[in-house]
Amino acid sequence: MRVNPVIAAVGAGAAALLSSAFVSAGAQSVGSSYVLFCVEKGEQMSSIDPIAFIATGGTIREPFPGTSDREASRFVERWLRPGRAYPVYFGGASSGGVTVRERPGDPGISLQARVALKTTAPLQKRTMALATSQTIGRVAGTLQRRPLSAAERTALLAAARPAFQRNGVSASDAQSARILNAAALNLDRVGRPEAVARLQAGQGSGPRCDLFVIAEPQGERGFTLGLTVVNKDKRTPTMEDINYIEQDLVDALDLNKDGIAEVVARSVYYESHDYTIFQKRRNGKWRKVYRGAGGGV
Ligand SMILES: [Ca+2]
């Protein structure tokens, strides 16, 4: 019998995925290391921004050790010089690529580099993607990223309202909470997709309260919040709250090849930004496993 090589390869990949789900995170070899970038489509020019260095085994580190300008310049010469081309991933699926056009203006402040972007992903404001410094092969498997349906948005708001109220938001403000940024992503590639979102309440009487959530499917249509990060805006009429964080989804990718995609978020706050990576641990709980990179805005 002739075996279709494509089907055979898919079958082997699925078997590897299943077995890896039972291996502790980081215990297996997952190939060589790479730099992970945030891809943002701009009106005039698109950009990439280093998020982290993913070491062999899926360990997540700062893009380069230390904070000196010399180290930043060395990083730029290695990874962000004009002509460097990198593959783009959107929801774990291969989605075109970027080519660096200009080095970062001042690497001591920001490592954001202008790029030419060629992608099939529907990128726009607050809809970002990831790029990697090398093709990462079967790490990428599609998570079927898409906007939430109307029914999913309703279910997500219902799941989030009690969390708003637990954080001091009035019942009426919680009732009028809205979704600022959201995506359906099948992070474990099992059953219905998760919803990853930033929601906001408190436009009325109280201060703004943001929730960054990873909502997991519950029952036939519902969600339960697997991760909730609370970002409250404590500004007054005369003073801006410099600690207020606007945290948005960048995208998700299985960095340690355990079968469940890590979720990457970008936090923008007063004149600065950085990146956070959340990982589902073996006990089923989502945890922050990295915060770093970024710089000026
Ligand atoms: Ca993972």
Query: In degrees to the nearest 10, what's the CA dihedral of 118, 121, 123, 127?
Result: -140
Mean per-residue pLDDT, 81-106: 95
> How many Cα atoms sit within 13 Å of 275 on the Cβ side?
27
> In this predicted structure, what is the pLDDT of residue 108?
84
Query: In degrees to the nearest 10, what's the CA dihedral of 274, 210, 58, 286?
Result: 150
Report how far ligand 1's centroid is from the alpha carbon of 56 (Å): 13
Report how far ligand 1's centroid is from the alpha carbon of 281 (Å): 9
> In this predicted structure, what is the pLDDT of residue 95?
94
Report how far ligand 1's centroid is from the alpha carbon of 11 (Å): 20
- 27 contacts: CB under 8 Å, gap ≥ 6: 57
Report how far ligand 1's centroid is from the alpha carbon of 20 (Å): 10
pLDDT digits 0-9 by tens, 133-169: 988 765 556 899 999 999 999 999 999 999 999 999 9
pLDDT digits 0-9 by tens, 22-42: 333 333 334 579 999 999 998
Report how far ligand 1's centroid is from the alpha carbon of 86 (Å): 21
Edge-to-edge strand list for the sheet holding 222-232: 178-185, 194-201, 209-218, 222-232
pLDDT digits 0-9 by tens, 241-294: 777 889 999 999 999 989 999 999 999 988 899 999 999 999 999 999 999 999
**Interatomic CA distance for residues 190 and 75, integer angstroms:** 38
Instruction: Categorize the per-residue pLDDT at 65 as very low, low, confident or very high, splitting at 50, 70 and 90.
Output: confident
Closest to 86 measured CA to CA, from 34, 121, 23: 34
Report how far ligand 1's centroid is from the alpha carbon of 194 (Å): 15
Report how far ligand 1's centroid is from the alpha carbon of 26 (Å): 9
Query: Domain limits of the chain?
Result: 12-132, 150-291
Best-predicted range by mean pLDDT (95-99, 206-210, 238-242): 95-99
Report how far ligand 1's centroid is from the alpha carbon of 295 (Å): 26
> In this predicted structure, what is the pLDDT of residue 31?
55
Whether 196 and 213 have beta carbons less than 8 Å apart is answered as yes
> In this predicted structure, what is the pLDDT of residue 216?
98
> In this predicted structure, what is the pLDDT of residue 208?
85
> In this predicted structure, what is the pLDDT of residue 69?
87
Report how far ligand 1's centroid is from the alpha carbon of 276 (Å): 14
Report how far ligand 1's centroid is from the alpha carbon of 58 (Å): 8
> In this predicted structure, what is the pLDDT of residue 241?
75
pLDDT digits 0-9 by tens, 182-234: 999 999 999 999 999 999 998 655 678 999 999 999 999 999 999 999 998 87
Report how far ligand 1's centroid is from the alpha carbon of 172 (Å): 38
DSSP 8-state secondary structure symbol assigned to residue 255 = S
Report how far ligand 1's centroid is from the alpha carbon of 229 (Å): 20
The alpha carbon dihedral of 20, 15, 29, 137 has a sign of negative
Instruction: Return the bridge partners of 109, or none.
Output: none
Report how far ligand 1's centroid is from the alpha carbon of 99 (Å): 27
Report how far ligand 1's centroid is from the alpha carbon of 188 (Å): 9
Asked whether residue 297 carries a pLDDT value surpassing 90, the answer given is no
Asked whether residue 5 carries a pLDDT value surpassing 80, the answer given is no
Report how far ligand 1's centroid is from the alpha carbon of 262 (Å): 5
> In this predicted structure, what is the pLDDT of residue 214?
98
> In this predicted structure, what is the pLDDT of residue 206?
62
Instruction: Categorize the per-residue pLDDT at 8 as very low, low, confident or very high, splitting at 50, 70 and 90.
Output: very low
Asked whether residue 239 carries a pLDDT value surpassing 80, the answer given is no
> What global pTM score does this model have?
0.86
Mean per-residue pLDDT, 33-52: 95
